Amino acid sequence: MIDYQRICLAHYHEIGLKGHNRSTFEMRLLKNLEALLSDFPVVTVHRIAGRLCVFLREGTDWETAKAVADVMGKVPGVARVSCGFKCPRDLDVMAEVARAAMLEAGDFESFKVAARRNHTDFPTNSMEMNQIVGAALCQAFPEKSVRMKNPDLTVGVEVVQNAAYVYARSLPGIGGLPVGSSGVVACLLSSGIDSPVATWKLARRGAVCIGVHFSGRPQTSDASEYLVDDIARVLERTGCIARVYTVPFGDYQREIALTVPPELRVIMYRRLMFKVAEELAHREGAGALVTGESLGQVASQTLDNIRCTDAAVSLPVFRPLIGTDKLEIIAEAERLGTFEISAQDAPDCCTLFMPRSPETHAKLAVVEEAESALPVDEWVAEIAAAAEVRDYACPAFKRKKKRS
């Protein structure tokens, strides 16, 4: 048993490509990791040699260290996570620790050592460290082969000013940018499969996500609201959602269904939803709306109909899934952990008062003329005022006072 402090190193790629503002991205990721790992025995998180190092409490066991690494790998901005130890800058100790790290790395047949000397006050250079530590590992694991290109396992040895960091087990992260580095967006969030994935994709690009859920209540049950809360609980594990507004929308859909031509109902629903979401976005200082639409997937997602709904708002509308098919979206939802929730059947506003033959190629002039019969501005104010707010754990979110 090695009696040295366990560490988990967060490697990042895209942040490392930033210029003079790189430190801002690094600090945002550091703060996110500190908050999201608060339930684990973390002593501190520091930036070391172009990485973020999570130092675990003395005596932390291997299973706990793996759990920490698993959480870190799902945090936007982290490209890879490595588990290992902090030890003295002594080559014999570093070789001993490397053997211990390899024993915890899982199954592998080939390996190599990747040593790096970050301070020249250590007399042994990187190539010499590769040879010395590599020779010790070959002696300890004679059944394993050394492969310099594409090995099963890479043992990292990094010498910094006052210590060495040795690691072997690595797992891929999701990459991207840390949440909080790209502003705020308002995401139309249903209990379905698509919109949680779209929300996660914007969080992975560094946006703080505010959900807006349109419930069919009181014309339907509130079952979709509970599913959306479950979805948000999954997203908040890695700080990917900050707040959800729940909007009772059923009565307004009923009024639209009684007033406009049946084939235009879906367009009218969507336009009103966009207008309400934009009002709530302004309340939160959000710079864009986000939807889970995929081109041509349903009647409201044709090019003509998308144009008609976008024309209802002035904010840009992001559709990260626009070129993605359903099977690809399902695979992303399974990876994210929301698919099983979204697969549950729950009535919501999307299936309420649906026409038999919805318009698939709406004309904006026709839509706007039909909409002129509705008190849209009055409705938007009423709906936004009635929205119910629930907050979630998002370290990057600067909370504003809830409005009643």
pLDDT per residue over 293-322, tens digit each?
999 877 778 999 999 999 999 999 999 999
On whether 352 is known to bind a ligand per the annotation, the reply is no
Task: Look up the pTM and report it.
Answer: 0.90
How many distinct structural domains can be found in the chain?
2
Pick the residue with more confidence: 329 or 399? Answer: 329
Phi-psi region of 380 (alpha: psi -120 to 50; beta: other; left: phi over 0): alpha
Phi-psi region of 260 (alpha: psi -120 to 50; beta: other; left: phi over 0): beta
Query: 231 and 164, same structural domain?
Result: no
On whether 301 is known to bind a ligand per the annotation, the reply is yes
Query: 212 and 347, same structural domain?
Result: yes
CA triplet 21, 25, 27: central angle to 5 degrees?
Answer: 110
Could you read off the pLDDT of 121-158 as tens digits, one per residue?
A: 899 999 999 999 999 999 999 999 999 999 999 999 99
Query: 234 and 126, same structural domain?
Result: no
In a domain? residue 403: no
Q: Range of 44's domain?
A: 6-172
On whether 205 is known to bind a ligand per the annotation, the reply is no
* Three-class SS state of 170: strand
CATH number (domain holding residue 54): 3.30.2130.30
Percent of the chain residues past pLDDT 90, beyond the cut: 83
Mean pLDDT across the chain, nearest whole number?
92
Residues 6+ apart with CB under 8 A from 227: 191, 341, 342, 344, 346
On whether 59 is known to bind a ligand per the annotation, the reply is no
* Three-class SS state of 47: strand
> For residues 243 and 390, is the Cβ–Cβ distance under 8 A?
yes
In a domain? residue 177: no
Give the pLDDT confidence score for residue 220 in this predicted structure: 84
CATH number (domain holding residue 300): 3.40.50.620
Handedness of CA 80, 84, 85, 89 (dihedral sign): negative
In a domain? residue 404: no
Domain limit, last residue, from 126, 152, 172: 172
Cα 271 to Cα 7, 170, 255, 290, distances in angstroms: 50, 47, 14, 14
Helix (H) or strand (E) holding 138: helix 126-140
In a domain? residue 398: no
Least Cα distance to 145 among 99, 112, 102 occurs for: 112
Phi-psi region of 239 (alpha: psi -120 to 50; beta: other; left: phi over 0): left
Could you read off the pLDDT of 241-267 as tens digits, one per residue?
A: 999 999 999 999 999 989 999 999 899
C-alpha to C-alpha distance for 243 and 186, rounded to whole angstroms? 10
> For residues 53 and 45, is the Cβ–Cβ distance under 8 A?
yes
Could you read off the pLDDT of 22-74 as tens digits, one per residue?
A: 889 999 999 999 999 999 999 999 998 788 999 999 999 999 999 999 999 99
On whether 270 is known to bind a ligand per the annotation, the reply is yes
